[in-house]
Chain A
Amino acid sequence: ENISDFSVNMTDCTQVVVPEEVFFTIAAVGILENLLVLIAVVRNKNLHLPMYFFICSLAISDMLGSLYKTLENIFIILCKMGYLTRRGDFEKKLDDAMDSMFILSLLGSIFSLLAIAADRYITIFYALRYHNIMTLRRAVVILAIIWMFCAGSSIAIALFSYEAATVIPFTILFPLMMFFILCLYVHMFLLARSHAKKIASLPTSTVHQRTNMKGAITLTIFLGVFLCCWAPFVLHILLARFCPHNPYCACYMSIFHVNGTLIMCNAIIDPMIFAFRSPELRSTFKKMFCCAR
């Protein structure tokens, strides 16, 4: 019966395959884009500011994510062609290293987004003291701490990925951080609203009151993109850990490649919503390309 079950299973919920060309194209575009952001920030002295450092940190984690997926695909191709054995020790270690790179990318993304939100929060609520609170040196120290913590956790998680104790905190951290970032932004919004109300109540104010849709749209895009790109994968990890033999879970896990592609799409979209909104950065790009021609 085992064999007959097995043959039936072959036809149900087959793995959804993303063509390799699509995969590599998306990964390459993501890596290039983030590399451009990094180069632009490094080259332009005006961009040596805490805010841009945090954006760079986000670009680095996006690059790591895309790099991971690219390397993984290369390894799979090499395995198919027979250059690598599938259960060798070296391959296992390489596999663990790549897993930790991926988790590092996820954690780095989350913490970078958190740092960006906190930086904006301080800019709004402590505007006059911003330069004393967020000095360049402090920003570098904060980034160093974040990345060391992420590196440590990612190695630990990759090594002990078999334990439930690592999977659960990892999957809890994700929504927790998103919720915290959302709270920061909501507080900023509330302050904007209260100030607007105060202005409206002034005797001579002639302000045009209406709903500011664009603020809500921007914030929704920020958080929506991150959620839609990372949450599928996080759910995959949860299901893989807790119900690998359940048919429903198995069907969800069959779209693993699509989830991976989504993560790489996140690497492409993030620079657009964070880095490219800055005119200074855009002008740096133009200068770079004009000089190259």
Chain B
Amino acid sequence: MSALRLISNRTSQQASSNSDYTWEYEYYEYGPVSFEGLKAHKYSIVIGFWVGLAVFVIFMFFVLTLLTKTGAPHQDNAEPSEKRLRMNSFVADFGRPLESERVFSQQIAEESQSLFHFCINEVEHLDKAKQSQKGPGLESNTHFQEVPRSSGKFEEDLNSLTKLNLPNFVNTEQNSSLGEDDLLISEPPIILESKSVMQSSSRILD
């Protein structure tokens, strides 16, 4: 009886710490809990919890899938197999931040090309989007890279941009005109920032 009293005293305490809890599990069952006359299955909370969690995760998945749907009309490309999923880079490299080792890869050139296309085109004219091939893109790219040599911080910023620290939204292919991923940067800030970038660059040059 004294042992029983000890148990009931223990369990009547407010939530004891987890370890004591577990130690008691090893030796005693859960005190005076009556399992008589249960209406539902005894593991109903367990089952209900896990089913609810699974439903929630699946629901979240469908919501996210709907969100990523672009909704624009389907257009065929010449070589769809070569085209990476736009979000592939987003997804595959989601954990990939500032990648300094990718500076000299072809991808970087294209990515920075597309990024700078965005900056340049938004600031200048949308027509340039038509001709945003490698040639002019790279020229503007190198132009931008010449500018920051005079200021360390600015250079660091632009260099990191060319390295594309963006979680790879900005991956594109060879002959893409502006792909979906190019512009996954907040639009208004980019316009303003690119303007300030150009202003500061002109200030530096003068």
Contacts and interface: CB of A to CB of B under 8 A. Distances in A.
A189 to B, nearest CB: 5
Residue of A130, A192, A246 contacting most chain B CB atoms (<10 Å): A192
Contact of B53 (A72, A127, A231, A275): A231
Contacts of A182: 60
Contacts of A273: 95
Given A5-B32, A206-B75, A200 B180 contact: yes
Given A98-B19, A128-B157, A215-B87, A251 B96 contact: no
Contacts of A132: 153, 157
B70 interface: yes
Contact of B75 (A209, A251, A255): A209
Contacts, number: 317
Interface string A237-250: 10111001111111
Q: Interface centre among B21, B67, B197, by most A CB within 10 Å?
A: B67
Contact of B15 (A51, A162, A190, A207): A162
A104 B130 CA distance: 54
Interface string B88-120: 101111111111110000000000000000000
A214 B88 contact: yes
Which of the listed residues B75, B86, B93 has the most CB atoms from chain A within 10 Å of its own CB? B86
A202 B17 CA distance: 62
A124 B167 contact: yes
Contact of A124 (B33, B42, B185): B185
A288 interface: no
Contact of A209 (B18, B72, B96, B130): B72
B2 interface: no
Contacts of B184: 124, 191-192, 195-196
B90 A192 contact: yes
B67 A76 contact: no
A110 to B, nearest CB: 17
B49 A235 contact: yes
A193 to B, nearest CB: 6
Contacts of B19: 72, 75-76, 95, 98-99
Interface of B: 4, 11, 13-23, 25-26, 29-36, 38, 40, 42-46, 49, 53, 56-57, 60-61, 64-65, 67-77, 80, 83, 85-88, 90-101, 126, 129-130, 153, 156-157, 160-161, 165-167, 169, 176-187, 189-190, 193-194, 197
10 contacts: A9-B34, A86-B23, A129-B189, A200-B180, A203-B130, A204-B177, A216-B65, A244-B15, A246-B33, A280-B99
Interface of A: 2-3, 5-6, 8-10, 12-15, 46, 49-52, 55, 72, 75-76, 79-80, 86, 92, 95-96, 98-99, 102, 119-120, 123-132, 158, 161-163, 167, 182, 186, 189-193, 195-220, 223-224, 227-228, 231-232, 235, 237, 239-241, 244-257, 273-280, 283
